[in-house]
Amino acid sequence: AGGHWSYAGKAQWPSTFPSCGGHLQSPIDIDTGATIFSPQLGALLLSGYDLPPGERLCLQNNGHTIVLKLPENMTLTGGGYLQPYRAVQLHLHWGSAHGVPGSEHTVDGHRFAGEIHVVHYNSQFSSFHDAVREPGGLAVLAAFLQVGEEENEAYQHILESLKEVQEEGEKTFIAGFDVAKLLPHDLSRYFHYNGSLTTPPCYQTVNWTIFNQTIQLSQDQISMLEDTLRGDNDEPLEGNFRPQQSLQGRTVLASFL
Ligand code: SG7
Ligand code: ZN
């Protein structure tokens, strides 16, 4: 099913997109006391993430977030994953001005200022489109954004161009950079669980990795994210997160004690 959707109309998602009413939905609250330590979950390895400046990347306002398209030679191996996964795009979730946080996942009930998602598909499929409905088809790397003292240079590279994509559907191009710098240094400590896309069509095909280490942006940078964009119906694009979904018997694994 296609069609438009909004965060305001989230109660109606399951009637148009049946998977949104399923039992393996995302995001979730991570109850750290209930996670299970799995020593076989090793460090995640990112290859091809350091993109040359000559490689221009498309940044688009899709009305729900800003999406940065990524080249498929960026790959993810190791971690909890049995096959290599290829990158497709990254995007962000955030809150609203005056300190209302907007991460999708929460940890022990704590919601962070924002969250980055780097979306990948299983390399055993020939495209994202072929993988998106398949169990284990997608891997999303997630990390939490928090307010810190210093300006974050890697995020600034994206934020500088926000003004060029203020309206839904607008696109611009940014120079290649080291995309790994948008993620935490420590790729060895993370949570892992099976869930879904957090927006319609909510396919239950995502193996999630949520890093324990958080990323710091300055208050000005977080504010820029919250204040610059407009989405559907010319409304400010803010608070673009889905509420917590119930675990329904799932377990969350931790790579660390
Ligand atoms: C954002 O989140 C966009 C969507 C994405 C959706 O709205 O990044 O992607 C595009 C290309 O617009 O949907 C199918 C898909 O990747 C859900 O992704 S998420 O579960 O990582 N939040
Ligand atoms: Zn997302």
Q: In the structure, what pLDDT confidence band is assigned to residue 2 with cuts at 50, 70 and 90?
A: low
Beta bridge partners of 47: 75
* Residue whose pair of structure tokens reads 């990347």 in the numeric block: 57
pLDDT of 232: 79
To the query of whether residue 64 is one of the catalytic residues in this protein, the response is yes
Residue 124's Cα: distance from chain center in Å?
22
Question: Minimum-distance ligand to the CA of 5?
Answer: 1
Pocket of ligand 1 (CB under 6 A): 62, 64-65, 67, 89, 91, 117, 119, 140, 197-199
Q: What is the mean pLDDT of the chain?
A: 97
ipTM above 0.85, yes or no: yes
Q: In the structure, what pLDDT confidence band is assigned to residue 135 with cuts at 50, 70 and 90?
A: very high
The predicted model gives 58-82 an average pLDDT of: 97
Residue 32's Cα: distance from chain center in Å?
20
How far is it, in rounded angstroms, from Cα 200 to Cα 1? 9
* Residue whose pair of structure tokens reads 């710091």 in the numeric block: 216
Atom 12 of ligand 1, residue of closest alpha carbon? 62
- Ligand 1 probe mutation, 133, 199, 232, most atoms within 8 A of CB: 199
Q: Exposed, middle or buried, 71 (CB in 10 Å: 0-12/13-18/19+)?
A: middle
Q: In the structure, what pLDDT confidence band is assigned to residue 99 with cuts at 50, 70 and 90?
A: confident
Question: Minimum-distance ligand to the CA of 19?
Answer: 1
Q: Which atom of ligand 1 is nearest to the CA of 140?
A: 21
Active-site annotation holder among 4, 64, 110, 185: 64
The predicted model gives 207-221 an average pLDDT of: 98
Task: Write out pLDDT tens, residues 145-200.
Answer: 999 999 999 999 999 999 999 999 999 999 999 999 999 999 999 999 999 999 99
Cβ atoms of 158 and 177 closer than 8 Å: no
Atom 14 of ligand 1, residue of closest alpha carbon? 197
Closest CA to 85 of 45, 50, 54, 53: 45
Q: In the structure, what pLDDT confidence band is assigned to residue 1 with cuts at 50, 70 and 90?
A: very low
How far is it, in rounded angstroms, from Cα 196 to Cα 78? 21
Cβ atoms of 102 and 90 closer than 8 Å: no
**Cα angle 184-189-195, degrees, rounded to a multiple of 5:** 95
